[in-house]
Amino acid sequence: MSSSFKELPVISAGPMTHRPSSQDPIIGIDLGTTNSLVAIVKNNTPIVLPSREGRNLIPSIVHYGADNNIEVGFSAKKRRSTDPKNTIYSAKRLLGRGAADMLDSGIEFPYDLDLSSPQNVQIVIGEKKITAIEVSAEILREIKLAAETALGRPVEDAVITVPAYFNDSQRQATRAAGRLAGLNVLRILNEPTAASLAYGLHEKKNGLVAVYDLGGGTFDVSILKLRDGLFEVLSTAGDTQLGGDDIDIAIARHLGLEADSGKALIIAENLKIALTTQKSATFEGYALSREQLETIVVPILEKTRTAVEQSLIDAKIDRTELTDVVLVGGPTRMPVVQQFAAQLFGRQPNCNLNPDEVVALGAAVQADILAGNNRDFLLLDVVPLSLGIETMGGTMNKLIPRNTRIPAMAKEQFTTYAEGQTKVAINVYQGERDLVTFNRKLGQFVLAGIPPLPAGLARVEVTFLVDADGILSVSAKELYSEVEQSIEVRPSYGLTDEQVEQMLAAYLDNKDEDLSVAKLVEARNDARTVLTATEKALPKVADLLDKNERINIETLTANLRGVIEKEDLTAIKNAHKALSDGTRHLAELLIQATLDKNFKNKNVDGFLKKG
């Protein structure tokens, strides 16, 4: 080697990239097909936050009752057998999908779908029609409330995970659902990548890791290289219409039940869960053995084989080079899935992590990275599907091939094919097939104002830019005339941005602001601060106060204690104010005492801060 690399500049003092701790925390959300979870990093350790129902997970189920009464979670799950038409589960399988996608997938739901609009699947609830985005927003709203309740402070910023194999419209739809729930989505993160972050933090090992993520409705496989805090995704592959749901449906069919009835799926799910620990199980008169379950499940698992092989080819590694296999998703608890994965990768999978929680924990780790708290970790992810434009003859011209590292940029020049052509249509597609008709159209725009030139002379330069969320924007420029046009490709994912903003505004208008849990939580915390401070201070200055004043303060303290756990924001605020007013003299005495150095080194923070 004759010459060497140029030296990099020494970065002396970087800019301030630490999020101030006074700012509200960033949460990590696993918005799952079956269950959703929320987590946060505390003292460098990610933890799952409890739901308002006191559980770690929230079933991704929304029940639309009479009088606009909406329930989310376990309470909604109970309605599945009694009110299946209004109990929406697995909405994630509809997110960002068109009617054609649904007809192709062949999945059935006990609730009614309106497939009349090709771009946009709608769910029919009585007289109303809603999109999967709105259903997902209800789940995210519940998650936001759970986090606010658990943390005792308002939450707005979030990282939300999606299956790695989600296309652009499914990602955009997830973003829109977050927005609709009043969240500021800082990052759309791939689920297997999130899992690898939690794995890396837990196992502290370098190497080549395969993440086999079989969720409720989607399957992903990712190959990653882990090295000293760097998480490089080498490849990803998957199937967005394959998961635990399919196993339940197959079990129901095996039992001779109508697969689209809510009841049948409950029976199937219970038998499946019982068989993870038992050799045979019976539920409501239906019996199933583990052997029978295996013959039902293996054909479904076989569908993951192609994706796994593709991911290894794309990563340019042999399966023997893998140092670990991580299983993610509830269905991987089933012994048959673990055996299948072991055989597929030629090694025993790692079962040290909780497959239900690992994605949420990883999302929290990424949130911590974005907050600037974790400078040791960095994630380098890829695009799951190729991105390109349509050229003559309907062929797909790929600008960014699948598994390209993001952020990614690509430029390519095209020309006109007709004499004097002054406009070109730029059709943007996502997918692997050579003909665009088999791929998914993300958007279209027209570059006009090209000077009339002989065919083949105009030079149109198309630029693709994919950001760290895996979302694409496209611009085009005619190089002679410098006519330029750029769009953020907005695939039709079900709602327009304007619709999302309108719905959010309507929601915020309708909800009684004082009932907002966030405000309640905040008021409670403020009240607690004053209570603690008062109780600490009172004995110290007791002899300086007259008896009436002392009794008054004790009464006010008791009043505040009495209302603090109630759902009445005004009562808490009033009692808080009364106590603050009643302790003004006490505070003055304390300050005076501090000045007199009689109270040197004693904690009076609560009073000084509140004034």
Partner 1 sequence: MHCWNCKTDLSHQSSLGFFACPKCSAPDFIGTDRSPFAVLGAPRQYDLDLSELEERYLALSKWLHPDRYATLGNTWTKKCGELSALVNESYESLKNSESRLDALLVGSSDLAKTNSDAIPTRYAERFFEMQELRMEDAAAARALALSLQSEIKQEDNALLEQIDRIARSLNWNKPLEKQSLLTLMETRAKRAYLRSLIANLQKVLL
Catalytic choice (101, 168, 191, 390): 191
Catalytic choice (213, 245, 324, 478): 213
Which residues, in sequence order, are bridge partners of residue 283? Answer: 286
Helix (H, G, I), strand (E, B) or coil at 441: strand
Of 7, 127, 509, 565, which lies in the binding site for partner 1, with binding defined by CB under 8 A? 7
CB atoms within 10 A of CB 502: 12
Q: Which lies closer to partner 1 via its Cβ, residue 19 or residue 490?
A: 19
Tell me, rounded to whole angstroms, the distance of Cα 119 from its chain centroid: 23
Q: Which lies closer to partner 1 via its Cβ, residue 361 or residue 400?
A: 400
Which residues are CB-contacts of 327 (< 8 A; sequence separation ≥ 6)? 212, 213, 214, 337, 338, 341, 349, 350, 351, 355
Q: Does 13 bind partner 1 (CB under 8 A)?
A: yes
Answer whether 257's CB lies under 8 Å from 315's CB: no
Q: Does 12 bind partner 1 (CB under 8 A)?
A: yes
Say whether 30 is catalytic. Answer: yes
Q: What is the size of the binding site for partner 1 (CB under 8 A)?
A: 40
Of 158, 210, 465, 489, which lies in the binding site for partner 1, with binding defined by CB under 8 A? 465
- Rounded to whole angstroms, the Cα distance separating 223 from 517 reads 41
Say whether 24 is catalytic. Answer: no
- Rounded to whole angstroms, the Cα distance separating 322 from 206 reads 11
Joined tokens for residue 208: 């080549």
Answer whether 283's CB lies under 8 Å from 267's CB: yes
Q: Does 566 bind partner 1 (CB under 8 A)?
A: no
Answer whether 198's CB lies under 8 Å from 365's CB: yes
- Rounded to whole angstroms, the Cα distance separating 266 from 254 reads 14
Q: Does 22 bind partner 1 (CB under 8 A)?
A: no
- Rounded to whole angstroms, the Cα distance separating 499 from 505 reads 10
Joined tokens for residue 291: 């052997």
CB atoms within 10 A of CB 9: 6
Kindly write out the interface string for residues 169-198 of this chain, putting x where it contacts partner 1 by CB under 8 A and - elsewhere.
-----------------xx-----------
Of 126, 152, 394, 407, which lies in the binding site for partner 1, with binding defined by CB under 8 A? 407
Of 99, 342, 468, 571, which lies in the binding site for partner 1, with binding defined by CB under 8 A? 468
Q: How near is the Cβ of 398 to partner 1 at its closest, in Å?
A: 14
Of 90, 332, 404, 492, which lies in the binding site for partner 1, with binding defined by CB under 8 A? 404
Q: Which lies closer to partner 1 via its Cβ, residue 299 or residue 407?
A: 407
Of 42, 303, 305, 405, which lies in the binding site for partner 1, with binding defined by CB under 8 A? 405
Q: How near is the Cβ of 563 to partner 1 at its closest, in Å?
A: 38
Answer whether 72's CB lies under 8 Å from 88's CB: no
Largest CA distance in the chain: 99
Q: Which lies closer to partner 1 via its Cβ, residue 192 or residue 329?
A: 192
Q: Does 380 bind partner 1 (CB under 8 A)?
A: yes
Say whether 191 is catalytic. Answer: yes
Q: Does 556 bind partner 1 (CB under 8 A)?
A: no
Of 17, 21, 510, 601, which lies in the binding site for partner 1, with binding defined by CB under 8 A? 17
Phi/psi of residue 573, each to 5°? -60, -45
Angle at 59 (CA atoms; ends 117, 44), nearest 5 degrees = 115
Q: How near is the Cβ of 402 to partner 1 at its closest, in Å?
A: 13
Instruction: Give the catalytic positions in this structure.
Output: 30, 92, 191, 213
Binding site for partner 1 (CB under 8 A): 1-9, 11-19, 186-187, 227, 230, 369-372, 378-380, 404-410, 465-468
